[in-house]
Amino acid sequence: MDKLRLGIIGIGNIGTGHTSNILEGQCPGIRITAAADRRESRRSWIHEQLPDIPVFSEGEELIASGTCDAVLICVPHYQHPPLAISAMRHGLHVLVEKPAGVYTLQVREMNEEADRHPELAFGLMYNQRTNCVYRKLKEMIDGGELGTLKRVSWLITDWYRTQQYYDSGAWRATWAGEGGGVLLNQCPHQLDLLQWLCGLPVRVRAFCHEGKWHDIEVEDDVTAYLEYENGATGVFVSTTGDAPGTNRLEITGTRGKVICERNKLTFSRLAVDERVWCRTSPDAYMKPECETFEVETDGLNPQHSGVLNAFADHILHGGPMIADGREGIRGLMLSNAMHLSSWLGKPVDLPFDEVLFRDLLMERCRHSRHKKEVDVTYNMIGSY
Amino acid sequence: MDKLRLGIIGIGNIGTGHTSNILEGQCPGIRITAAADRRESRRSWIHEQLPDIPVFSEGEELIASGTCDAVLICVPHYQHPPLAISAMRHGLHVLVEKPAGVYTLQVREMNEEADRHPELAFGLMYNQRTNCVYRKLKEMIDGGELGTLKRVSWLITDWYRTQQYYDSGAWRATWAGEGGGVLLNQCPHQLDLLQWLCGLPVRVRAFCHEGKWHDIEVEDDVTAYLEYENGATGVFVSTTGDAPGTNRLEITGTRGKVICERNKLTFSRLAVDERVWCRTSPDAYMKPECETFEVETDGLNPQHSGVLNAFADHILHGGPMIADGREGIRGLMLSNAMHLSSWLGKPVDLPFDEVLFRDLLMERCRHSRHKKEVDVTYNMIGSY
């Protein structure tokens, strides 16, 4: 195999972006050999782009067609696990768009299926992990440069969306269609990065506000407080209602503080571990000596194409993927725990009661508001 | 009267700073005519500075001495209201160091006494209100430049203190001596500014960690979530355990966002109110047009001397004070609500049960740890 034969399931907003990237030559190891979408308009579009490939209405038809080595799943979130499981059972490698799914129980099934197919690649489209700034930060933390985690704060309020956005898709921002709001649609990247960088907290208390800034039934404003096993604490704030919004991640460890903002990493490095200093300093107010500087990175940020290329390279040549699919459940645990805490009005310990979460979610789905069908497609690559 | 005759009660850390400022000529309308401190070492110090003034052991003696027109109260927090009340009953103008007191019930008594003496000046040492940056911000908010409040976030984690600091005074960081930790000692300025700028929230959920970074019985790490009457939310994070720490205030309104950091105000001003834009924009992702710039201020930041001079000018010539003493209760309500929420493990609505708060605090005082007497004095002016 010199090129991976890829089937794209779901040629909606993000699927359109992936298709365009590949057609523009950004993924030399990949050839699109099939596509599927339930909408006639999207099938017509892909047929115009690639007249020679089979185009299906259903992902399951594509999976059974024998035309691909791998599938890229870009359909609404609820369908990620069942399609991934089916693809694996047909011997196909699988790359899933974020989030891994809507609730952890269904994602556990997907992960278990993946474990039964160690010969298959299973990846998650965590394109933000390819950003040089986050990669460098991960390297610094893992290398001990920040010492032990004390505090993390992420204000990620620059996911602005207008009412028009929410009116553009019947599945959007409904419990039945999407299973949540800003936590499920916009935040999965940051929730993954947060757990990737700092690990999972052991306790979450969140305050989700539903339909606060938009006429929708799910949350569009979230503030969450996190506690980690070592006592470190965190704050995570997100919304689709703020303009111009902020994206500022600050992580404090015992050996310094790093701020990630505007794609720059600023490190304040202490000469002495603060915990040692606190106990031994004869001065009451003085801080340890500190040097602040911008951290250099390799400047590379290949995003979606980077994930696709690593996925193909992994299958073709055994290279490393950007994110193993099994890790998708971790960010979703954070997201589910935030929802659950807000619904119950109290802190939630991790691991939480996943059956209770699913039941409460399904209850919401039963009362989910019907939205009229619309058929609008955006190329969203730029907005991620 | 051409100069205000001021008695200083408490020549400890901050009292020493005030005395030095006045002796250095920063307060031309004020003459120190008496002082009081329970410690012989501090009485000796003031006697060296001002050999001709009477020096008392007890504030009550100073108040009864007839040597002053006004008193500046710089003793441990619990004693602020009783001394202020006594001074007012003796016909003295009163300026109280922050916080107004330790619990709101005692501060209400002080405010009620003040209401019985409309002829007397009653002020709070909220020196941060003199900072040009906060004054300008207040002016912008009150002038409607930010529109309606949507979100506020204050990371104020640069109150670093070593263990030595806490070991330097027997009253420090004990329930009986100080009534709290970082919320009572370091944060009163920010809690006042927060309510001054954004108003009081209607609901608070806080997470206070006691003795987390230091060997003390009170909180040295706080994360609080706030909800305002109009639905706006906020986050307030503080600690004495972080180095180098952060002081970053971000306020988002419907017409823009302002960031206050490193004594600079950065305003992102929207061309259109976001709430109108959200409902009417035909685009899904685009934000309203936005212009970002640094806001000019008058550059003045007279701090403690500014409060003292305004207080004297108010008495001598009828000018405005920086902060009316009656406003001191508002920041304390925030502080008490944060403690209460953390103690109860649930959200607290404002106004909260002030009797319950006092009872829970007194319970803590009864079990308060005895610390050995020490006698260390810092000139803390620089650290505020």
pLDDT digits (tens, 9 = 90+) for A87-97: 999 999 999 99
Cβ neighbours of B221 in A, within 8 Å? 233
Nearest to A233 by CA among A143, A292, A154, A158: A154
Contact assessment for residue A350 and residue B256, using Cβ atoms and an 8 Å cutoff: no
Cβ neighbours of A288 in B, within 8 Å? 243
- Asked if A237 lies within 8 A of B153 by C-beta distance, the reply is yes
Q: What is the pLDDT of residue A369?
A: 82
Torsion angles phi and psi, residue B263, rounded to 5:
55, 30
The mean pLDDT value for B121-146 works out to 98
Q: What is the pLDDT of residue A209?
A: 98
Q: What is the pLDDT of residue B190?
A: 98
d(CA B21, CA B11): 13
- Asked if A225 lies within 8 A of B225 by C-beta distance, the reply is yes
d(CA A24, CA B309): 70
- Asked if A285 lies within 8 A of B245 by C-beta distance, the reply is no
Cβ neighbours of B205 in A, within 8 Å? 205, 207, 225
| C-alpha neighbours within 13 Å on the C-beta side of residue A192 | 27
Place of tokens 């609080």: B224
d(CA A303, CA A295): 20
Please state the length of chain A: 384
Q: What CA dihedral angle connects A140, A145, A151 and A156, to 10 degrees?
A: -20
Predicted ipTM of the assembly: 0.95
Say which of B153, B160, B212 has its CB closest to residue A285. Answer: B160
Say which of A162, A250, A282 has its CB closest to residue B164. Answer: A282
- Asked if A205 lies within 8 A of B209 by C-beta distance, the reply is no
| Per-residue pLDDT tens digits for A294-309 | 999 999 999 999 999 9
Residues above pLDDT 90, as percent of chain A:
93
Cβ neighbours of A268 in B, within 8 Å? 244
- Asked if A165 lies within 8 A of B209 by C-beta distance, the reply is no
Pick among A148, A161, A163, A164 to test the B interface (most B CBs inside 10 A):
A164
Strands A70-73 and A93-96: parallel
Write out the two tokens for B323. Answer: 């902060």
Whether pLDDT at B380 is above 90: no
Whether pLDDT at A378 is above 70: no
Whether pLDDT at A379 is above 80: no
The mean pLDDT value for A189-212 works out to 98
| Per-residue pLDDT tens digits for B185-212 | 999 999 999 999 999 999 999 999 999 9
- Asked if A242 lies within 8 A of B151 by C-beta distance, the reply is yes
Whether pLDDT at B287 is above 50: yes
Q: What is the pLDDT of residue B384?
A: 47
d(CA A35, CA B351): 60
Cite the DSSP H helix spans in chain B: 13-23, 40-49, 59-64, 80-89, 104-115, 132-142, 163-166, 182-185, 188-198, 274-280, 303-317, 328-344, 354-366
Mean pLDDT of chain B: 96
Q: Which residue of B has its CA nearest to A149?
A: B242
Contact assessment for residue A215 and residue A176, using Cβ atoms and an 8 Å cutoff: no
Q: Name the burial class of residue B299, with classes exposed (0-12), middle (13-18) and buried (19+) by CB atoms within 10 angstroms of its CB.
A: exposed
Strand ordering across the sheet containing B256-261: B290-294, B264-270, B256-261, B247-253, B149-156, B233-239, B219-227, B203-210, B348-349
Whether pLDDT at A384 is above 80: no
Q: Is the peptide bond before B351 cis (omega within 30 degrees of 0)?
A: yes
The mean pLDDT value for A13-30 works out to 96
The mean pLDDT value for A348-367 works out to 97
| Per-residue pLDDT tens digits for B222-267 | 999 999 999 999 999 999 999 999 999 999 999 999 999 999 999 9
Whether pLDDT at B115 is above 90: yes
Cβ neighbours of A243 in B, within 8 Å? 270, 274, 277, 287-288, 290
Cβ neighbours of B242 in A, within 8 Å? 150-151, 252, 257, 274
Distance from the B278 Cα atom to the nearest Cα atom in chain A, whole angstroms: 5
| C-alpha neighbours within 13 Å on the C-beta side of residue A53 | 26
Q: What is the pLDDT of residue B319?
A: 98
Mean pLDDT of chain A: 96
Place of tokens 């193909």: A312
| Per-residue pLDDT tens digits for B327-363 | 999 999 999 999 999 999 999 999 999 999 999 999 9
Q: Which residue of B has its CA nearest to A273?
A: B243
Q: What is the pLDDT of residue A375?
A: 64
Q: What is the pLDDT of residue B1?
A: 74
The mean pLDDT value for A309-329 works out to 98
Rounded to two decimals, the pTM is 0.96
Q: What is the pLDDT of residue B36?
A: 98
At A170, the pLDDT band (50, 70, 90 cuts) reads confident
Buried b / exposed e along B80-103 (16+ C-beta atoms within 10 A): bbbbbbbbbebebbbbbbbbbbbb
Q: What is the pLDDT of residue A381?
A: 53
Q: What is the pLDDT of residue A13?
A: 87
Q: Is B80 left (phi over 0), alpha (psi -120 to 50) or beta?
A: alpha
Whether pLDDT at B321 is above 50: yes
d(CA A190, CA B252): 21
The mean pLDDT value for A104-125 works out to 98
